[in-house]
């Protein structure tokens, strides 16, 4: 008898190859579900034939926690524009990113794969590093560009900054932003500090400024994003707006600094909320709100060691850099008027690896034909199909060292090293250890986790190392 929880019959195995030829078969249960659900507001077969598929806006924050938005329970940070996205769309309460730190998390978002599968599971990319996401990997931007989308990346990249590794080499027509984290900079450090590196602001593959004033980064990314929307209002477009904030050092513009009762961290989140409002106003102004799926999430949990300068994971335990829920479970809001039910909530497990196959499914874009993906098409969860269950049977948690640390299966989460077991539905804060009453389940989950990791390791693909630099990051 298997003790592993199974979510029902929908979806594929986590390691099923999502080959182009298999994909229509994968959609079949979804289409079937559509025909049995008169409330379903979306017909994916029609969408795939649509000559003008939906625009995609993916807004990503950096190190913002599960508990940092009003609509996720923060008592003093004001996020009216994000709350409006939740009120007009769907709020996810069990959304996971692929890693508890920046680079691997972004690799998972872009590729639909566990970071380990694309060789980026360890730590983050630093200015002196010579590696990045392999150009042979297929990103969301590449999938959509092949479908005829204009693609723009505004903000932080952090998947490689040497020649051939920038957003413009990974499917984006346009890039305006910084290639790595905003703390890999001189700006917040005292004079005559010993830190070797500086932060470039880039347009395309050119450095246009060194050490940009970080007070204005959120506003400048937003202005560029608004221009991109206006330029491509006739669509389709993919806008990836990846804020540098609230990763420390924290900076807000003059309009927001000193305004939030939460202090500077609150100012920063409230400016990001303003930015979200600007994007939504631009969609409204161009009358494309119902033609645009807006997604909002964070790359990992809050950086708790910075205390008041870090965010909050709410009731979740731990934060950035840990595999407690607070490190990898973050807000996800999805808004698409006329397609996603307003003021709805999804408690099923969804992960950042699901973005690529879901977006491909919604837009009729072609998935990479010969590579293993780990994500699933979760259109049925996104659009609230009655009875839809998560296709993610197991979710693997990797430490920033790259090692497998834990696995979630249904409501249960097992930490492999310590043997701690938690029931995440009864105990989302991971306070009440339950392994002694569930020894058989622990053994079975352990062996399943190790087998999945072994399979993933055996099929992992390499990163790209590049000698040629585009700039000298040393100060």
Nearer to Mg ion, 14 or 326 (CB): 326
Sheet holding 206-210, edge to edge: 206-210, 200-203, 174-178, 150-156, 237-242, 55-61, 292-298, 332-335, 90-92, 344-346
Nearest-approach distance from CB 64 to Mg ion, in angstroms: 8
270 touches Mg ion (CB under 5 A): no
Q: Rounded to a whole number, what is the distance in angstroms from the first to the last CA of the chain?
A: 62
Nearest-approach distance from CB 324 to Mg ion, in angstroms: 16
Q: Choose one: 149-157, 279-287, 291-299, 348-356; the region binding Mg ion (CB under 5 A).
A: 291-299
- Axis crossing angle, helix 264-285 with helix 80-88, rounded to the nearest 10: 50
125 touches Mg ion (CB under 5 A): no
Q: Choose one: 26-34, 37-45, 61-69, 124-132; the region binding Mg ion (CB under 5 A).
A: 61-69
Count of Cβ atoms closer than 10 Å to residue 30 Cβ: 22
Nearer to Mg ion, 54 or 244 (CB): 244
Residue from 70, 88, 174, 300 touching Mg ion (CB under 5 A): that is 300
62 touches Mg ion (CB under 5 A): yes
Nearer to Mg ion, 118 or 248 (CB): 248
For 329, phi and psi rounded to 5 degrees? -95, 120
68 touches Mg ion (CB under 5 A): no
What gap in Å lies between CA 396 and CA 411, rounded to an integer? 13
Nearer to Mg ion, 29 or 100 (CB): 100
Nearest-approach distance from CB 298 to Mg ion, in angstroms: 7
102 touches Mg ion (CB under 5 A): yes
CB proximity list for 355: less than 8 A, separation 6 or greater: 58, 109, 112, 140, 295, 375
Q: What is the size of the binding site for Mg ion (CB under 5 A)?
A: 5
Nearer to Mg ion, 62 or 271 (CB): 62
Q: Choose one: 56-64, 156-164, 225-233, 348-356; the region binding Mg ion (CB under 5 A).
A: 56-64
CB proximity list for 234: less than 8 A, separation 6 or greater: none
Q: Choose one: 27-35, 62-70, 126-134, 167-175; the region binding Mg ion (CB under 5 A).
A: 62-70
Q: 375 near 366, Cβ under 8 Å?
A: no
By beta-carbon distance, which residue lies closest to Mg ion?
102
Of 410-449, binders to Mg ion (CB under 5 A) are: none
What gap in Å lies between CA 290 and CA 350, rounded to an integer? 23
102 annotated active-site:
yes
Nearer to Mg ion, 99 or 384 (CB): 99
Q: Choose one: 57-65, 136-144, 257-265, 459-467; the region binding Mg ion (CB under 5 A).
A: 57-65
Q: 284 near 328, Cβ under 8 Å?
A: no
What gap in Å lies between CA 360 and CA 264, rounded to an integer? 38
Nearest-approach distance from CB 63 to Mg ion, in angstroms: 4
Q: With the CA atoms of 379, 281, 167 and 360 taken in that order, what torsion angle do they form, in degrees rounded to the nearest 10?
A: 20
SS3 content of the chain, % helix, strand, coil (to 5): 30, 15, 55
Nearest-approach distance from CB 447 to Mg ion, in angstroms: 32
Nearer to Mg ion, 102 or 241 (CB): 102
The catalytic residue among 34, 102, 113, 335 is 102
Q: 226 near 276, Cβ under 8 Å?
A: no
Parallel/antiparallel/unpaired status of strands 350-351 and 332-335:
unpaired
Nearer to Mg ion, 242 or 384 (CB): 242
The catalytic residue among 74, 158, 161, 247 is 158
For 75, phi and psi rounded to 5 degrees? -80, -20
Q: Choose one: 102-110, 125-133, 282-290, 449-457; the region binding Mg ion (CB under 5 A).
A: 102-110
137 touches Mg ion (CB under 5 A): no
Number of alpha carbons in the 13 Å side-chain half-sphere of residue 243: 33
216 annotated active-site:
no
63 touches Mg ion (CB under 5 A): yes
Nearest-approach distance from CB 177 to Mg ion, in angstroms: 14
Nearest-approach distance from CB 300 to Mg ion, in angstroms: 4
Residue from 173, 273, 291, 299 touching Mg ion (CB under 5 A): that is 299
Nearer to Mg ion, 138 or 300 (CB): 300
Nearest-approach distance from CB 62 to Mg ion, in angstroms: 4
Nearest-approach distance from CB 105 to Mg ion, in angstroms: 6
Exposure string for 234-272, b = 16+ CB within 10 A, e = fewer: ebbbbbbbbbbbbbbbbbbbeebeeebebebbbbbbbbb
**Residues contributing to the site for Mg ion (CB under 5 A):** 62-63, 102, 299-300
Catalytic residues: 102, 158
């Amino acid at each position: 008898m298997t003790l592993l929880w199974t979510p029902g019959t929908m979806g594929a195995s986590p390691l099923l190859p999502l080959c182009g030829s298999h994909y229509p078969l994968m959609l079949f249960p979804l289409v079937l579900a559509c025909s049995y659900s008169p409330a379903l507001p979306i017909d994916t077969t029609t969408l795939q034939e649509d000559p003008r598929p939906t625009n995609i806006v993916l807004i990503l924050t950096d190190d913002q926690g599960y508990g940092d938005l009003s609509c996720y329970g923060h008592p003093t940070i004001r996020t009216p524009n994000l709350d409006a996205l939740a009120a007009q769309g769907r709020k996810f309460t069990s959304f996971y990113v692929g890693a508890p730190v920046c680079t691997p998390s972004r690799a998972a978002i872009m590729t639909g794969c566990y970071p380990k599968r694309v060789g980026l599971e360890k730590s983050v990319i630093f200015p002196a590093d010579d590696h990045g996401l392999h150009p042979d990997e297929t990103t969301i931007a590449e999938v959509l560009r092949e479908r005829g989308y204009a693609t723009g990346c505004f903000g932080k990249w952090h998947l490689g900054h040497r020649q051939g590794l920038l957003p413009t080499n990974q499917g984006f027509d346009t890039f305006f932003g910084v290639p790595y984290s905003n703390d890999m900079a001189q700006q917040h450090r005292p004079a005559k500090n010993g830190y070797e590196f500086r932060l470039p602001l880039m347009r395309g593959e050119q450095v246009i400024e060194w050490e940009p004033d970080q007070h204005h980064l959120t506003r400048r990314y937003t202005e560029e994003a608004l221009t991109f929307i206006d330029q491509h209002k006739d669509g389709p477009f993919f806008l990836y707006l990846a804020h540098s904030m609230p990763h420390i050092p924290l900076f807000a513009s003059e309009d927001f600094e000193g305004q939030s009762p939460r202090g500077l961290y609150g100012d920063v989140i409230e400016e990001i909320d303003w930015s979200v409002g600007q994007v939504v106003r631009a969609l409204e102004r161009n009358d494309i709100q119902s033609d645009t799926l807006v997604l909002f999430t964070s790359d990992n949990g809050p950086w708790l060691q910075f205390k008041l300068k870090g965010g909050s994971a709410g009731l979740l335990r731990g934060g950035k850099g840990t595999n407690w829920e607070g490190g990898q479970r973050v807000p996800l809001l999805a808004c698409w008027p006329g397609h996603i039910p307003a003021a709805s909530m999804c408690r099923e497990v969804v992960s950042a690896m699901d973005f690529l196959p879901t977006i491909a499914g919604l837009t009729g874009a072609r998935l990479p034909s010969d590579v293993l993906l780990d994500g699933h098409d979760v259109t049925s969860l996104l659009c609230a199909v009655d009875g839809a269950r998560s296709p993610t049977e197991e979710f693997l948690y990797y430490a920033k060292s790259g090692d497998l640390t834990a696995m979630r299966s249904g409501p249960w989460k097992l930490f492999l090293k310590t043997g701690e077991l938690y029931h995440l539905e009864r105990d989302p804060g991971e306070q009440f250890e339950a392994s002694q009453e569930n020894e058989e389940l622990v053994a079975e989950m352990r062996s399943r986790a190790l087998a999945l990791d072994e399979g993933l390791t055996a099929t992992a693909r390499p990163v790209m190392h590049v000698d040629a630099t585009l700039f000298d990051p040393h100060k």
